[in-house]
Amino acid sequence: MPDQSIQAARTPGAPPAEPASGAGGVSRRALLGTAGATGLVLGAAGGAVGYAAAPAGATPLTSVGSGRAMFHGKHQPGITEGLQACGHLVAFDLAAGAGRKEAAALLRRWSATAERLMAGEAAPHDDTCVARDAGPSSLTVTFGFGHGFFGRTGLEKQRPAALDPLPDFSSDQLDRSRSDGDLWVQIGANDALVAFHALRALQKDAGSAARVRWQMNGFNRSPGATAHPMTARNLMGQIDGTRNPRPADADFDQRIFVPASGQPAWMANGSYAVVRRIRMLLDDWEKLSLSAQEQVIGRRKADGAPLSGGSETTPMDLEKTDAKGDLAVPLTAHARITRPDRNGGAAMLRRPFSYHDGIDRDGTPDAGLLFVCWQADPLRGFVPVQRKLDRGDALSKFIRHEASGLFAVPGGAAKGEYVGQRLLEG
C-alpha cells in the first residue's frame, strides 16, 4: 500500500435548469430531503418518470445528497474526485459469442444509464426505486477494458502495450477467479443506496452480452464525519495517503493521464487503473505495540507525521538519527520505501476503499483495502513501487495481495458519445 491517497476536494458542477412541469416527471432533486437540512440543493434536474414530487415547502437535501459529479468531460469521473463513502468494483466477461458489436451496444447502454444516475435521475428503464428519495450523492461511474477484451472483440491491434499483464510479486496469493476481467466498472457514491442502485442498474443493463466475473464492496469515512477535512485512515488505524499526487501539482496530468497525443489514440486523456484486493492481517497487526506499528509505517499513528519530526505534511528527513544513532525512519519503513524520489520518480494516484467481508471460521476478519491506483503508465507507476516493496517492506508481513487487475480506462465521453466509442467505432 504505497504511501499515497487522494484527498482532493471536488467542486460540484453547476446544475442544469429544471424541466418544465409535466415534461416527463421530476428529478430526485425535487424530492423530499433529510429533515432539518438547510441550504440550496445542488443536485441535477431531469426527468425521473414515476418519482413523486415532494410536497410544497419540503426541506431540501443535505449537502451530502446534493453533491453531483459530471459524466461528460475530458476524463472519466471517479478518478480525481475526493474519496467517496461507499463503492463497488465489478468486472465482467463478455458472453460466448459476444463481440465488438455487442460490446459497443453494452457501452452505449451503460453510458446512458451512468449519465442519468449521476444526474440524480431514474434509470432509463425498469428503475428499482432503491435511490428514489436520494439526490445524486456524488455518484461516479467509471468504465475500463481488460487485456482479454481486445481478443474477444477482434481489436488486438488496438490493445495498448501498457496493458500487458502485471509481473508476479512475492506478496501475491492471487485468486484468479477474482482477478482481471474483460470489462471493469467502478462505482462510488456518498450514499450506500445510491451506489447499490447504480450497481444493480448496470448489472441489469449487461443483459446477455456479459456476465459478472467478480464484484467487491468497499467503504470510506463519510463526508462530514470529522470536524475538518482530514487524510483518511485505513483499517490499521493509520493515516493513509499523505503524499498522494494532487491535481494542483504541475506534473499531475503527465503522471496520471495519457496525453492527448498519446498512443493508441483512443486512450487520449485516459488512465490505467491497477486494482488489488489487499487483505490486512489485523490480528497480527494489532498485537504490535504502538511504537512498533509506527516503525513499520515510518509515521506517527496519531497525526501521520514522519518519525523524523514535524507535522503530517513535513518532508521526511531520511538521514535523521535518534539518540542511539539509529535512523529515525527505519530502512524498511513503508513510507520510506514508497517515496517517489526512492523509486525513480514513480507516482500513482491512489483512490482506494476499505472492505470487510465478514469473519472467517477461525475468527479472523476478512478485511483490508480495495487498492485502486491511477497512472499514465503502470510500468512507470505501480510496477516499480511494488517491486521495491517486494524487496523489504516491513508492512509486507501484515498484508496479503489476494486479487489483481489492470484496466485501460479511456478518456471521458463528449456530449452525445458513449465511453469507449473511439475504440469500438474507430
> Chain-centre distance of CA 119, in angstroms?
19
Distance CA 44, CA 69 (A): 10
Q: Would you report the helix, strand and coil content of the chain in percent, each value rounded to 5? A: 25, 20, 55
Considering Cα of 63, then 69, then 70, then 75, what sign does the dihedral take? positive
Q: Alpha helices of 11-94 — where are they, by DSSP H?
A: 63-66
Question: In the structure grid, which three cell numbers stand for residue 11, read together?
Answer: 467542486
Supply φ then ψ for residue 373, to 5 degrees. -130, 150
- Which residues 6+ apart lie within 8 Å of 73 measured at CB? 412
The number of beta carbons lying within 10 Å of the beta carbon of residue 146 is: 22
Annotation says 377 is catalytic: no
Tell me the pairing of strands 271-280 and 365-375. Answer: antiparallel
Degrees to nearest 5, angle at CA 380 with 332 and 186: 95
The DSSP H or E segment spanning 117 is: helix 100-118
Q: How many CA atoms, within 13 angstroms, populate the side-chain half-sphere of residue 374?
A: 32
Question: In the structure grid, which three cell numbers stand for residue 221, read together?
Answer: 469515512
Degrees to nearest 5, angle at CA 310 with 304 and 311: 40
Contact in structure between 7 and 232 (CB atoms under 8 Å)? yes
- Chain position carrying cell 489492470: 406
Contact in structure between 158 and 424 (CB atoms under 8 Å)? no
Catalytic residue among 127, 240, 253, 393: 240
**Catalytic residue ranges:** 240
